[in-house]
Amino acid sequence: MPPILPTNSPQNAHLEGVKFPHADILGVADQLNSDERKRLQEIHEFLQTEIRPVVGEYWDREELPFELLPKLAAQGLGEIELSNTSRLFRGLVYAEITRVDVSLSALVGIHNELNVGVIHTLGSDEQRDKWLPGLRKFEKLGAFALTEPDHGSDIAGGLATTAQRTEDGWIINGQKRWIGAGTIADFAITFARDVEDQAVKAFIVELDRDGVSTDKISRKMGLRIMQNADITYDNVLIPHENAIPGAQSFSNVNDFLCSSRAWVAWQAAGLQLGIFDAAREYALTRQQFGKPLAKFQLIQEPLTRILGNASASLAMMAQIAHVQEEGKLEMPMAAMAKATNTRLARESAAAARAIGGGNGLLTQHHLSKMMADAEVLYTYEGTYEINALIVGRAVTGQSAFV
């Protein structure tokens, strides 16, 4: 899977016919079976030719490219979690999406890992029949409403949104914050504390119901395509059957939260592939002092460092996929992968941005865009610090925060 390099200008004539090593230089994707390798190649080519050239303008404008959703659906990206493929394949697909844009990978990943996954595994037959067909084709969108204005890292114990069972249905009250697709989704899987037994339960709340209001969070430094939102529930009445039967306590969704943390680690690995692609492309095509930047030692060293970071991240994720396949993934493992890979992505993004010099400040070269998005990965799905403390608790037996 060679990188996409522009060769249609005179200064890039030296690139004609040259083949470059793939950023997956250790061949992690070679561990897939032949069918999955072929499928991954097809997805890679689609993303590089159909998505990468156009996605930057949407990022600049903080807009979701709705017209691209049918194309993503045609590639099966709305139903990755139902695809019966290996964990390694699914992880590499998430990495390839992130390679072209972090925001789109967040949309696809949350859609699959959390919304489709929860409804498919924990939902009722009626809920699966109602929502999954549209979700699989991106004809319907869901949101995963867990985080609150006053509770992020401490959400498990501090969740304040309430649900009260009545004869007519459940009444939901509270607020949620940073909810991906919150302004555009058809429904939100909403976590609320049952006022009777104090258990945290999950409910499907259609966002066009009376009492639901959403407000887009704007002016973000990264993840600008994803439409994050504040959601307010003011005495929102939903039918009894909207309660998700398999999510009657917070522990019921722990496996999904663990898997989603590993998914973010895949995002960080994929972002580094994209960082390497863009930095190498710029270094090969930018001429200074009569020769390509790539001929300078001070450029080759950071390129090597970026590739090393990406390779280490991919190797870690290949092992994480193996552990997941055996059903043995635990939160400290996912937290270590997420913390490590996002830290390396942050370092790689800064090095690549510097390779771009002044041009690296412009989003059209992707370098500053990816640097900003790396900050989001470093922070969401548990900040770097919280994930580090989860690992620290596991390896010392001492909790620094709970």
Q: Which of 202, 214, 292 lies closest to 249 in space, CA to CA?
A: 202
> For residue 3, is pLDDT > 90?
no
| Contact assessment for residue 307 and residue 269, using Cβ atoms and an 8 Å cutoff | no
Residue 9 lies in a domain: no
Q: Which residue has the tokens 């595994």?
A: 121
Name the token pair of 167: 């004869």
Same domain, 256 and 391: yes
Query: What pLDDT score does 4 carry?
Result: 46
Out of 103, 136, 169, pick the residue that ends a domain: 136
> For residue 32, is pLDDT > 50?
yes
Q: What is the CA radius of gyration of the chain?
A: 22
Out of 189, 213, 248, pick the residue that ends a domain: 248
> For residue 11, is pLDDT > 70?
no
Domain that holds residue 303: 252-396
Largest CA distance in the chain: 78
Same domain, 279 and 240: no
Dump pLDDT digits (tens) for 278-298.
Answer: 999 999 999 999 999 999 999
Burial of 359 (0-12, 13-18, 19+ CB in 10 A): middle
Dump pLDDT digits (tens) for 117-158.
Answer: 999 999 999 999 999 999 999 999 999 999 999 887 777 778
Count of domains in the chain? 3
Residue 304 lies in a domain: yes
Same domain, 71 and 100: yes
| Contact assessment for residue 284 and residue 294, using Cβ atoms and an 8 Å cutoff | yes
Residue 277 lies in a domain: yes
Same domain, 160 and 74: no
Return the CATH number at 208: 2.40.110.10
Distance CA 103, CA 131 (A): 23
Residue 7 lies in a domain: no
Return the CATH number at 301: 1.20.140.10
Q: pLDDT band for position 10 (50/70/90)? A: very low
pTM (predicted TM-score): 0.92
Residue 63 lies in a domain: yes
Residue 200 lies in a domain: yes
| Contact assessment for residue 297 and residue 311, using Cβ atoms and an 8 Å cutoff | no
Residue 293 lies in a domain: yes
Burial of 53 (0-12, 13-18, 19+ CB in 10 A): exposed
Same domain, 208 and 306: no
Same domain, 281 and 383: yes
Same domain, 48 and 127: yes
> For residue 8, is pLDDT > 60?
no
Percentage of the chain exceeding pLDDT 70:
95
| Contact assessment for residue 250 and residue 200, using Cβ atoms and an 8 Å cutoff | yes
Average pLDDT value for the chain: 92
Dump pLDDT digits (tens) for 159-178.
Answer: 999 999 999 999 999 999 99
Same domain, 219 and 333: no
Q: What own/partner pairs with CB < 8 Å and gap ≥ 24 does 156-160 have?
A: 156/200, 156/250, 157/402, 159/191, 159/192, 159/193, 159/200, 159/250, 160/193
Query: What pLDDT score does 257 carry?
Result: 86
Query: What pLDDT score does 219 carry?
Result: 93
Same domain, 71 and 51: yes
Residue 2 lies in a domain: no
Same domain, 257 and 244: no
| Contact assessment for residue 316 and residue 337, using Cβ atoms and an 8 Å cutoff | yes
Out of 102, 136, 170, pick the residue that ends a domain: 136
Same domain, 158 and 64: no
Dump pLDDT digits (tens) for 42-72.
Answer: 999 999 999 999 999 999 999 999 999 999 9
- Cα separations (Å) of 52 from 44, 47, 68, 230, 252? 10, 6, 11, 29, 37
Same domain, 310 and 371: yes
